C-alpha cells in the first residue's frame, strides 16, 4: 500500500498510482487531524473525494507518529498530550478521539490507537505499552461509530519479546477485531530479530482475517512477512527513496545522481513496464534531479511503486501455483535489503 500521509502520495497523480497496480492507499490520522482537520475533510466529501481515490483507503491511528514525531507532554492511560510540530499547539489524542477522527475521515480500514515504544525500550516500558495498547483497543472498539462500513484493525505490540507479543495478540484476539496488524517493527531491531517476531507472532493471529505488517519495508522484509503469513504491507520507502534519486531494481538499488548514468540511454530497469521506464532514460531522469525539475522525483516514485507492485503480483502468482518457496529462493528481488554503501534515503526525516 503506497503511503499518502497528508492526503496525497507526494508528486504522483492518483491515475498514475492506480496504473502501478496499487489497489489501496494510506492516509494518516495524526497529520490530517493537525492539517486541514478532519471536519474539513468530511465537509469536502470524506478522504476518498479529498484524495480523488475511488478505491479502498486505510488510515493509521496516529499512534506511531505521536511517539516518533511529536513533542510529547504527557502519556497516561487516558491518552497522549503533545505539541503540534506545525504550530506548537497542545493536542490531546485519546483512543476515542483517534476513532472519531477516523470515522469522520471515512477510510475503509481504520486502526486502533496504540502505544508504539522505541525498539530499544526497556522491558518494563514494553510491558506498560502492551497493557496500555490492550486497554486502548477496547476503548477504540467501543468508540467506533461506523462498524458496518469501516473495518477496525487492532495492533499487536511487544517489541522483540515473544512472550509480550503473545500476551498482546491473545488479548486482542479475544476482542474479535475484523483484522490484526503487527506494529512496532523496523524501528531498529534488525532483520533477524524482525523475522523471529514474525514467525512467532503471525501464526497466532486468525488465519481467516487479514494480517497486516505496518511500515515495512525492504523487499526481503516483505517476503519474510509473506512467508510467516502476513497479507498486507505499507511503507514510505518506494516514494521517499524515489524523491531522493534512489531506484529499486531486481539487480539491486541504483542512485541516479551517480555520474555513470549521465549518458545512459537505458530505462531505470530493463523489463519494467512502468510509465518512467517506458518513456524516459536514466540519463534524462538524472538530469531532472540535477536541474531541480519535479519530474525526476515523480518518475522514480512511479517506478518504485510499480517495482513493489510487480513483486507483490509475482508473489501472489507463486503462492497460487504452489511454488512460493522456490520463488523466494531464486528471485533476486527477494534478497534486496539495505544497499550498505552510505546513507540510505529512507532514513531521512522527511514526511510522506
Residues labelled as active-site residues: 60, 234
Cell numbers describing residue 12? 504522483
For residues 275 and 241, give the distance between their C-alpha atoms in angstroms, rounded to a whole number.
17
Burial class (CB in 10 A: 0-12, 13-18, 19+), 12: buried
Contacts of 161 (CB under 8 A, 6+ apart): 123, 126
Distance (Å, rounded) from C-alpha 128 to C-alpha 124?
6
- Count Cα atoms within 13 angstroms, Cβ side, for 57: 27
Q: Are 97 and 79 in contact (CB under 8 A)?
A: yes
d(CA 239, CA 306): 11
d(Cα 319, Cα 229) in Å, to the nearest integer?
11
Please provide residue 17's backbone torsions phi and psi, each rounded to the nearest 5 degrees: -65, -45
Amino acid at each position: 500500500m503506497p503511503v499518502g500521509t497528508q492526503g496525497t502520495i507526494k508528486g504522483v497523480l492518483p491515475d498514475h498510482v492506480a496504473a502501478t497496480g496499487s489497489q489501496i492507499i494510506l492516509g494518516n490520522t495524526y497529520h490530517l487531524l493537525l492539517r486541514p482537520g478532519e471536519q474539513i475533510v468530511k465537509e469536502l466529501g470524506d478522504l476518498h473525494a479529498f484524495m480523488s481515490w475511488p478505491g479502498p483507503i486505510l488510515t493509521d491511528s496516529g499512534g506511531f507518529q505521536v511517539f516518533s514525531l511529536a513533542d510529547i507532554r504527557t502519556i497516561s492511560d487516558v491518552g497522549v498530550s503533545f505539541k503540534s510540530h506545525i504550530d506548537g499547539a497542545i493536542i490531546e489524542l485519546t483512543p476515542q478521539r483517534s476513532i472519531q477522527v477516523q470515522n469522520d475521515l471515512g477510510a475503509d480500514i481504520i486502526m486502533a490507537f496504540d502505544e508504539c515504544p522505541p525498539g530499544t525500550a526497556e522491558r518494563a516500558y514494553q510491558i506498560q505499552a502492551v497493557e496500555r495498547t490492550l486497554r486502548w483497543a477496547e476503548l477504540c472498539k467501543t468508540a467506533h461509530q461506523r462498524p458496518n462500513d469501516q473495518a477496525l484493525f487492532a495492533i499487536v505490540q511487544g517489541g522483540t519479546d515473544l512472550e509480550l507479543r503473545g500476551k498482546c495478540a491473545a488479548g486482542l484476539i479475544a476482542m474479535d477485531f475484523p483484522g490484526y496488524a503487527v506494529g512496532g517493527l523496523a524501528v531498529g531491531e534488525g532483520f533477524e530479530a524482525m523475522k523471529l517476531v514474525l514467525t512467532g507472532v503471525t501464526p497466532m493471529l486468525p488465519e481467516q482475517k487479514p494480517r497486516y505488517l505496518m511500515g515495512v519495508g525492504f523487499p526481503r522484509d516483505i517476503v519474510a512477512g509473506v512467508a510467516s503469513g502476513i497479507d498486507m504491507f505499507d511503507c514510505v520507502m518506494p516514494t521517499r527513496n524515489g524523491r531522493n534519486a534512489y531506484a529499486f531494481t531486481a539487480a539491486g538499488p541504483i542512485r541516479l545522481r551517480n555520474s555513470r548514468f549521465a549518458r545512459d540511454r537505458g530505462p531505470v530497469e530493463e523489463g519494467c513496464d512502468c510509465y518512467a521506464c517506458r518513456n524516459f532514460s536514466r540519463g534524462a531522469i538524472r538530469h531532472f534531479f540535477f536541474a531541480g525539475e519535479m519530474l525526476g522525483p515523480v518518475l522514480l516514485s512511479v517506478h518504485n511503486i510499480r517495482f513493489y507492485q510487480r513483486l507483490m503480483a509475482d508473489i501472489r502468482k507463486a503462492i497460487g501455483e504452489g511454488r512460493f518457496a522456490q520463488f523466494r529462493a531464486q528471485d533476486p528481488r527477494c534478497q534486496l535489503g539495505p544497499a550498505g554503501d552510505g546513507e540510505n534515503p529512507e532514513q531521512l526525516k522527511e514526511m510522506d
